[in-house]
Amino acid sequence: MTDGTALQHLVTGLPEVFSTAPRPSRIDACPCCASRAGLDRLLGAPRAQLTPEELGPYAASVLNTVGSPADLRYFAPRILQLVLTGELAWPGVPLVCRKLAQAGWQDWPEAPYLRRLLDALWPDVLHDARQCGDTEAVLSALGAADPDGTGGRLAEWARLASPVAVERLYEFALGGELEPRDALWDERGAAYRTFAAWLRGPELQLAVEAAFLRIDDPTQLDQLITVHDILAA
């Protein structure tokens, strides 16, 4: 999913950082929603050997009909590895970030490392065209997992430092009203308010105008003109 050097390094280091997370002895689950055989496989196999097919259903359902924050902490490094290397297509980055937020990851001993990982993920979204998924959905999920980082992420986007960053802003601007649209935003939350203010404020328009002065690629310039016209309107 990514060739970002910083992010790659952090993904590689996840197993060691989570080496002291205790293996759960049991995973509680709704019997209609998860097979006991599948859960027993998760408990019995070495964490590093769990496959996307084995871990995906748990990762998508955890904290809803399956599992607890404690067992998610144990499986989190493997889930993140599979998601961020593209081996696990579902759930994707937005849902996994929300699961971490729901589990209270900021209280885990591994929280400083996870924060570095989340901080490295957003620049990768803005520079790697192969990153799949909705940019706003990733921003929204990161805002749920780490609300305090939203302002910095938007400042990074406003730099428009790569063709991918320009294209992602262009795609968002074409989507309709310049307001947060992802259905999973917490409209009472700080991250939502920060994003809404950024879209309506002068910083973004000034960033687009500044980009005109340094970008000479015709495709990017056409995209910036479109964004500028939408912002002006």
DSSP character at residue 108 = S
Determine, yes or no, domain membership for 205: yes
Determine, yes or no, domain membership for 124: no
List the Cα angle 137/138/140 in 5-degree steps.
65
Q: Are residues 155 and 109 in the same domain?
A: no
> Which of these three, 83, 114, 145, is where a domain ends?
114
> Which of these three, 51, 83, 114, is where a domain ends?
114
Identify the pLDDT of residue 33: 67
Determine, yes or no, domain membership for 123: no
Give the Cα separation of 142 and 150 in Å (integer). Answer: 8
Identify the pLDDT of residue 31: 74
Give the Cα separation of 103 and 63 in Å (integer). Answer: 8
Q: Which residues in the chain show pLDDT less than 70?
A: 1-4, 33, 131-133
Q: State the CB neighbour count (10 A cutoff) for residue 174.
A: 11
Q: Are residues 97 and 198 in the same domain?
A: no
Q: Are residues 179 and 75 in the same domain?
A: no
- Strand, helix or coil for residue 50: coil
Partners of 29 in beta bridges: 66
Q: Are residues 98 and 153 in the same domain?
A: no
- pTM of the predicted protein model: 0.86
- Extract the tokens encoding 125: 């979204």
Identify the pLDDT of residue 2: 45
The residue range of the domain holding 12 is 1-114
On whether the CB atoms of residues 66 and 30 are closer than 8 A, the answer is: yes
Q: Are residues 109 and 13 in the same domain?
A: yes
- Extract the tokens encoding 188: 């009472």
Q: Are residues 105 and 72 in the same domain?
A: yes
Determine, yes or no, domain membership for 142: yes
Determine, yes or no, domain membership for 67: yes
How many domains does the structure of the chain reveal?
2
Identify the pLDDT of residue 232: 86
Q: Are residues 68 and 22 in the same domain?
A: yes
Identify the pLDDT of residue 140: 93
On whether the CB atoms of residues 141 and 100 are closer than 8 A, the answer is: no
Q: Are residues 55 and 139 in the same domain?
A: no
Identify the pLDDT of residue 114: 95
Identify the pLDDT of residue 1: 45
Q: What is the CA radius of gyration of the chain?
A: 19
Determine, yes or no, domain membership for 69: yes
